[in-house]
Structure 1
Amino acid sequence: MSSLATMPKDSNDVSTQRNTSPSFSSWVDNLLENGMGTGFLSNFNAGMTLPAVNIKENAEEYFLEIAVPGMKKSDFNIDVDNKVLSISSESKEEKEVKEENYTRREFGYASFKRTFTLPDTVESDKISATYKEGILSVHLPKKEEAKEKPAKRISVS
């Protein structure tokens, strides 16, 4: 790696020369400027991904839709504790093929955990979930007193 630097030959003349041994600080600066710093750090956890979540609300309830394709219903753990909804999954897969001259073992592991602080308006005893076509849907009904009421006209007497 080389860089160009301006070096004064005398007090009046400045020319461009090849700097064959950059200082450590300029090497680090170049490394960071070329994207290794922030690019490396932003991709550090690339092996761990959290599933995408859509949160919807209407007058009666909240809905969570979580994209988790390739899972089974039995892979999910859904818990409510102190107004915190936790959704997690852990799956392990192991394959072993034994042939006459070799043995091949493959394994995989995937897990995630998402937590959501529930508002006071959620009826936590009535939370339900379904899993269909790679989407985990969690239904969070609102308490009766929290549901929106239609507008009402009040007459003046």
Structure 2
Amino acid sequence: MYRNSWLPEVFNDFFYNNNMPKANPTAPAINVLEAEEQYIVELAAPGLRKEDFNMSIDDNGDLHIKMEKKASEQNEKAHYLRREFAYSKYEQTLILPEDVDKEQVSARMEDGVLNIYLPKIKQNIQKVARQIEVG
């Protein structure tokens, strides 16, 4: 399987799927971006609201995304001649990279896209330059 060199291997396993079909063809499309201070997961969710999602991080540090949308109440004065989008459900677990600060994960719904922000752990880079005394 092809691997992007800039994308952590754990993300390749979940997100790089051009060479293989999706297990669930109705699953939302996912983008993963990496910035200097965070990863951003974009999940296509047109027509959904933030109330339709439930996200959690388990004891292993894995991110669980659940979506459930039920059809709106039927109009009392009319009836459907055909109804195909009455219910949808989606669930996925993402194994997060080790450098994600799991206490600071957040999400926001915007313009039909669920954005999940995975901030990286801030690491203090120790400078190695120093003066050495000769004893």
Please give the range of the TM-score, normalised by the shorter of the 2 chains: 0.5 to 0.7
Q: Partner letter of residue 74 of structure 2?
A: E
DSSP-derived class of the 2:51 partner: helix
2:48 aligns to what?
71
Task: Return the letter of the residue paired with 2:40.
Answer: F
Q: What CA distance in whole angstroms lies between the structure 2 residues aligned with 1:45 and 1:79?
A: 21
Can you list the C-alpha shifts for 1:64-111, whole angstroms capped at 9, x where unaligned?
A: 011111001111111111111111110101443445xxx725570011
Residue 139 in 1 paired to residue 117 in 2?
yes
Question: Normalising by the residue count of structure 2, what TM-score does the alignment of the two structures yield?
Answer: 0.66
Quote the Cα distance in structure 1 between the aligned partners of 2:56 and 2:73. Answer: 31
Q: Residues 50 and 114 of structure 1 are in contact (CA less than 8 Å); yes or no, is this contact kept in structure 2?
A: no
How far has the Cα of 1:155 moved from its partner? Answer: 8.0
Among 54, 59, 79, which residue is 1:104 paired with? 79
Higher RCO structure, 1 or 2 (CA under 8 Å, sep 6+)? 2
Which ranges of structure 1 fall in alignment gaps of 5 or more residues? Answer: 1-41
Task: Indicate whether 1:84 and 2:84 are aligned.
Answer: no
Work out the percentage of aligned pairs sharing the same amino acid: 34
Give the TM-score of the pair, scaled to structure 1: 0.57
User: Residue in 2 aligned with 1:118?
Assistant: 96
CA apart distance, 1:54: 0.8
Q: Which amino acid aligns with 1:104?
A: H
Provide Cα deviations, 1:27-53, integer angstroms capped at 9, x if missing partner. Answer: xxxxxxxxxxxxxxx7x965xx11111
Say whether residues 1:130 and 2:103 are aligned partners. Answer: no
- Whichever of the two has the greater Rg, that structure is 1
Separation (CA, whole Å) in 2 of partners of 1:45 and 1:85: 19
Q: Could you say what the CA RMSD is over the residues aligned between the two structures, in angstroms?
A: 2.9
Aligned pair count? Answer: 108
SS at match of 1:65: strand
More helix by share: 1
Specify every segment of 5 or more residues in structure 2 that has no aligned partner in the other structure, as ranges: 1-20
Distance 1:96 1:60, change over 3 A: closer
